[in-house]
């Protein structure tokens, strides 16, 4: 019973809410763990679950008392959100009259300031990505230039097709598809537009010859769409060559947002460019720029100390 109810809910969030494949896969793992927990307590139907069952599960995933790995606050919070959504869906479907998860709150996730690097470090990484012989450096430079120029997630960048990019002078832009397949058009800077143009003219066709034909913008050596893992490897290798440490798949995106706000961009414009559903998500970047302002003020104002 629980298995059928889980599959129905996952189908709902996939089709009706448009959640990404990765999010749905995470929800499946979360709900499988919850279903196993309920089964260990003799509960084989959501209609029989109680508030104490949900509360006990929320405690168990944080401590590992259910015999599995304890989850970090962010993962624990996501799991509780998945469970709450499942129970809410059960009420809407008429499987049960009560929602035992309504009063169970996700764990508070401490705010972590996004990791941004300087413009000089960005330049060093981009230069390092374009070094070497053959077509791969042209692709790698174009990919990372695009990510930094647009604030795209790595998954959004590798998901691009050739037709999603406009390189007409004065119209340079890219169509990005974010979480829930929500689309946004983001301007392309001159550097990124030139590097993408060079890649399309000199490198994409040789890469495509190894494949069977795909509309994907960024291709691997076999002529297929470049994967997220490969894109992350490209970034990591370029960062190592540039001598920049602590670079993650989101570093260029975080730096994009931080540098825009530091330059005076309005937070709501940055929200739109990043594809955030709420400005609250974007405002964490303003904490970084405030810290920078304080440092500059303390170092330069004659009456700061």
Q: 190: domain CATH number?
A: 1.10.443.10
pLDDT per position as a tens digit, 78-94: 999 999 999 999 999 99
For 51, the domain range is 2-92
Does residue 146 share a domain with residue 88?
A: no
In this structure, is residue 98 part of a structural domain? Answer: no
pLDDT per position as a tens digit, 256-300: 988 888 888 888 888 888 888 777 767 777 666 666 656 655 676
Does residue 149 share a domain with residue 86?
A: no
Does residue 82 share a domain with residue 162?
A: no
- Domain CATH number, residue 19: 1.10.150
Looking at residues 222-226, what average pLDDT do you find?
A: 95
Q: Report the pLDDT value the prediction gives residue 152, as an integer from 0 to 100.
A: 92
**pTM of structure:** 0.64
In whole angstroms, give the CA distance from residue 262 to residue 167: 27
Residues annotated as part of the active site: 153, 179, 250, 253, 276, 285
What are the φ/ψ torsions at residue 49 (nearest 5 degrees)?
Answer: -75, 145
Does residue 168 share a domain with residue 66?
A: no
Q: What share of the chain is helix, strand, coil (3-state, %, to 5)?
A: 60, 5, 35
Does residue 170 share a domain with residue 242?
A: yes
* Cα dihedral 147, 150, 156, 161 sign: negative
Q: Report the pLDDT value the prediction gives residue 240, as an integer from 0 to 100.
A: 96
Q: Report the pLDDT value the prediction gives residue 304, as an integer from 0 to 100.
A: 58
Residue 43 region by backbone torsions, left for phi larger than 0, else alpha for psi between -120 and 50, else beta: beta
Looking at residues 19-44, what average pLDDT do you find?
A: 90
Does residue 132 share a domain with residue 86?
A: no
Contacts 24+ apart (CB under 8 A), 163-172: 163/215, 164/217, 165/196, 165/217, 167/193, 167/196, 167/197, 167/200
Q: Report the pLDDT value the prediction gives residue 276, as an integer from 0 to 100.
A: 80
Looking at residues 43-66, what average pLDDT do you find?
A: 92
Q: How far is CA 199 from CA 185, 194, 234, 274, 302, in A?
A: 21, 9, 15, 24, 50
């Amino acid at each position: 019973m629980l298995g059928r109810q889980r599959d129905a809910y996952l189908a709902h969030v996939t089709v009706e809410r448009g959640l990404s494949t990765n999010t749905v896969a995470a929800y499946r793992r979360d709900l499988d763990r919850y279903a196993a927990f309920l089964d260990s307590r003799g509960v084989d139907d959501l209609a029989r679950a109680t508030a104490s069952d949900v509360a006990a599960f929320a405690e168990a995933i944080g401590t590992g008392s259910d015999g599995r790995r304890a989850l970090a606050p962010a993962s624990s919070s996501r799991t509780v959100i998945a469970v709450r959504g499942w129970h809410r869906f059960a009420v809407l479907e008429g499987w049960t009259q009560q929602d035992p998860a309504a009063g169970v709150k996700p764990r508070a996730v401490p705010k972590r300031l996004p990791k941004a690097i300087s413009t000089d470090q960005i330049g060093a990484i981009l230069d390092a990505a374009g070094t070497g012989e053959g077509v791969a450096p042209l692709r790698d430079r174009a990919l990372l230039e695009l990510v930094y120029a647009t604030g795209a997630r790595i998954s959004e960048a590798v998901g691009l097709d050739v037709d999603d990019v406009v390189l007409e002078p004065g119209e340079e832009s890219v169509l990005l598809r974010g979480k829930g397949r929500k689309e946004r058009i983001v301007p392309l800077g001159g550097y990124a537009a030139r590097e993408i143009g060079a890649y399309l003219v000199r490198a994409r066709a040789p890469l495509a010859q190894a494949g069977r034909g795909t509309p994907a913008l960024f291709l691997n050596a076999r002529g297929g769409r470049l994967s997220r893992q490969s894109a992350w490897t490209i970034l990591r290798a370029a960062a190592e060559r540039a001598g920049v440490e602590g670079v993650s798949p989101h570093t260029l995106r975080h730096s994009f947002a931080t540098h825009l706000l530091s330059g005076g961009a309005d937070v709501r414009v940055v929200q739109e460019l990043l594809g955030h559903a709420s400005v609250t998500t974007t405002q964490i970047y303003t904490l970084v720029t405030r810290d920078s302002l304080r440092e500059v003020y303390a170092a330069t104002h004659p009456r700061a100390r």
